[in-house]
């Protein structure tokens, strides 16, 4: 699987549910270009077990992302109608009612494929019929896309492994620190800690003080 780091994020236009209750036919990440960075994350399927914990976790920290001028967008291979039904179901019944950020419908699986997170692969059998090997859903991929549309960070988890929203925020902070100060962020860096100047002397000074 090729890496998207340092490359323009794949473009798409697809149906999505926005504000928790409105279907739009032609949602695209291009609307954020030049204005906001984007945390674009994939999850396997609606109405499952680990997935609602992640979607609610992103909603709980949505104000933190918005404070940093970062849009959060989710995506799975379900239809927009499935998304809407799940959004209408209460949290205590396994639903994601209360989620307000956009949730994209990748019913064709083309978005998952272009981002390299589709868990299955479609190949022809001996009779020429296209069959799926593996799961026809998205892995738990997450992509941090800067204002210019370039992918700066990605992480892809297998289906059983939920992600850390705090880590996604940490990476947003690291990118914004670099963009503002030109300093690079060492291991386990968090906002407010010292970073490194990207020179040999800068690294030596940092190491000598830590």
Active site residues: 51
Q: What are the backbone angles phi and psi of residue 4, rounded to the nearest 5°?
A: -95, -5
Neighbours of 93 (CB within 10 A): 7
Neighbours of 135 (CB within 10 A): 14
């Amino acid at each position: 699987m090729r890496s998207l780091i340092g490359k323009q994020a794949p473009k798409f236009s697809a149906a999505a549910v926005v504000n928790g209750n409105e279907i739009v036919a032609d949602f695209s990440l291009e609307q954020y270009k030049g204005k906001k960075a984007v945390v674009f994350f994939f999850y396997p399927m609606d109405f499952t077990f680990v997935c609602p914990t992640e979607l609610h976790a992103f909603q709980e920290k949505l104000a933190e992302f918005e404070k940093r001028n970062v849009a959060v967008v989710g995506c799975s291979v379900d239809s927009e109608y499935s998304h809407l039904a799940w959004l209408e179901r209460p949290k205590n019944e396994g639903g994601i009612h209360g989620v307000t950020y956009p949730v994209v419908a990748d019913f064709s699986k083309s978005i998952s494929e272009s981002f390299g997170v589709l868990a299955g692969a479609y190949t022809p059998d001996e009779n020429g019929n296209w069959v799926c090997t593996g799961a026809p859903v998205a892995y738990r991929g997450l992509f941090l896309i800067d204002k210019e549309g370039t992918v700066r960070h990605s992480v892809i988890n297998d289906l059983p492994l939920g992600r850390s929203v705090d880590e996604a925020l940490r990476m947003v902070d690291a990118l914004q620190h670099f963009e503002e100060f030109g300093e690079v962020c060492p291991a386990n860096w968090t906002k407010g800690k010292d970073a490194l100047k990207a020179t040999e002397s800068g690294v030596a000074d940092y190491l000598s003080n830590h």
